[in-house]
Structure 1
Amino acid sequence: MTTISKNIVLKHYIPSGTPTMNDFNVREIPLKLEKSNEILIKNHWISVDPYMRTRMTDRKNYISPFKINEPLEGSALGEVIESNSKSFVKGDFVTSFFGWRDYFISNEKEVNKINPIDIPIQAYLGPLGFTGHTAYVGLFQIGQLKPGSTILVSSAAGAVGSMVCQFAKIHGCKVIASTGSDEKVDWLINSLKVDFAFNYKKIENLVLYFKEICPEGFDFYYDNVGGEFLESAIYRMKNYGNIVICGRISQMNATSPGVGLRNMAHVLVKRLTIKGFLIFDHLDNRNDFETDVIKWIKEKKLVWKETVFEGLENTPMAFAELLNGKNTGKMLVKI
């Protein structure tokens, strides 16, 4: 039997600025199982993530650009609806990197079967997916976060940032959270129980504000935004502090090159450690992460929020809204 798959494709590269619906097309592809190890999967949930923006230009980066007029890629959660594989049966749920489409055919090595616990299935794209894993690796493996630390988190109401805040609180840290709206500030304080949260858009001078709210300085900064915020945080780091670079969403849609850090002398004098990381280097190291996060979920120590768009055709809009900071928690598309 032939299944028609709808795919979102990129019409052309987008060197700068925010992507719009006009940059994408919907293409239909016929699918039919042919090989013995193939499975046909229907996606139910698609994740859109900031790193995808770097793949929409033709510039060399840590991951290759998307191919023009070829199906885009990204994390997705789907259900097996037909199988020629002995390892998968109809009804199995899987995660994959075949997002931006409603159906796809895969061999059994390109997907990961999940055994759902008693939580919404899409959590395997959030706290139990790349999102939670990124927060966990950045804090505990890259940054070696110590209990009792004072940690600053930017983009704290986003998918990764909201996990960082909660993992750090569970670890016995004081969490200072930055976000871009008063509504998100309320969520961070009342739901995530951070120690302090603020709307950075209302702050005229971040360095002076950091000194006011945390005069002793920060032990750890989890950076999701880059740019001016990173520079301001460096001024207020304690000696021997750690900065983990996870993202640079403030510069994703820049139309001109950003200004480099102007306070590297502080990095030297304070003996700071600054380290970037990519979760793609840690995909085989999930055991501790899954054990801890499942335990925290069962103990009701974690909460999460989703911003959901309905329909495959709205995936580009969801992505653009993500880059513009319109999400609270994980940005998802439900098919």
Structure 2
Amino acid sequence: MTKKNATIYDISKKLNVSVATVSRALNDNPRISQATKDLVVKTAKEMNYKQNNLAKALKSGETKNVGIIVPYINTNFFSSVIRGIEEELSNHGYHVIICQSHEDVFTEKKHLNTLLNAQVDGIFMSVSRTTIDTEHIQHILNTTNTPIIFFDRKKDIPGISTVTIDDYKAGYMATEHLIDEGYKNICHLAGDLNLEIYQNRLNGYKQALIDHQFQVKEENIISTGSSIDAGIEAIKTLWDRKSIPDAIFSASDFAALGACQELKKRKIKIPQEVAVIGFSNEPFTQFMELPMSSMDQTPVIMGNMAGKVFIDHVKDNSSGVSIEKKVVLAPKIIIRKSSKRK
């Protein structure tokens, strides 16, 4: 015979106490003595009692679930942000539902609808590169009380809190490091400039050149994808030109890896002839044959902060206050052999 799940009525009957007492004990009500709570919990386990989470959610107005939408999870950066969010929220009893947009705005929309139908208590988002029109996000703000928190990739929408790093400063720091190492003709693999983070990294690169009396050469700026193949193709493009760079700042570690592979294939010495610095500090950068410099985005801390911002939303909304926070984390430069000439 299969063992049926018990109800609070079964527990009440066995212990000869009221249903209300069982319910309060299971929900850790301070009006119930610890001895009674322990007895009720012990009996519930013995009788295979399973709490009805849906009923509990309907009563409390909370599901204790949150959604996270990322472009993809097969990079250390996004998986580490998710880890940071989960670490922070698990302390408050929340569970996470993870969705991938695969850089497609229509998939992003479907995931948002699915999460809303699941009545999640909040949504964390890093928007896809094809998210130009944000009407689907604005609609959620206008029609629900579900808080949305952007992290890393964001859109400037009033009412939505954001947690990012200072991408402008990171671009400036990476470029200034190459200048300090004595490089003169610095190229930038700029990523997808539809996204604000890549625009900010590009602007930081430009300003560092200007501040150090270098000319900003548009032919040294290549908008690329964030893949190894994109980095390979970028080097092929650059080496077809008259002015060959002596340093490369890539807005993506993967594009930087592709650049290193193509430079090695062409027997160009790194960093003696060409320096390379990437962005994100993916784990592979330190284990390459020639360890690669990179800008660290502190993703776990970013996830922790996003979780804290959400908890602040919950606390403030319970008192009828609407908040909007803009958290900007400081980037860190990780200098390794690929960019250290001196």
Bin of the TM-score, shorter chain as denominator length: 0.3 to 0.5
Instruction: Give the number of the structure whose residues are more often helix, by fraction.
Output: 2
Q: Give the alignment's TM-score, normalised by structure 2.
A: 0.35
Instruction: Give the number of the structure whose residues are more often strand, by fraction.
Output: 1
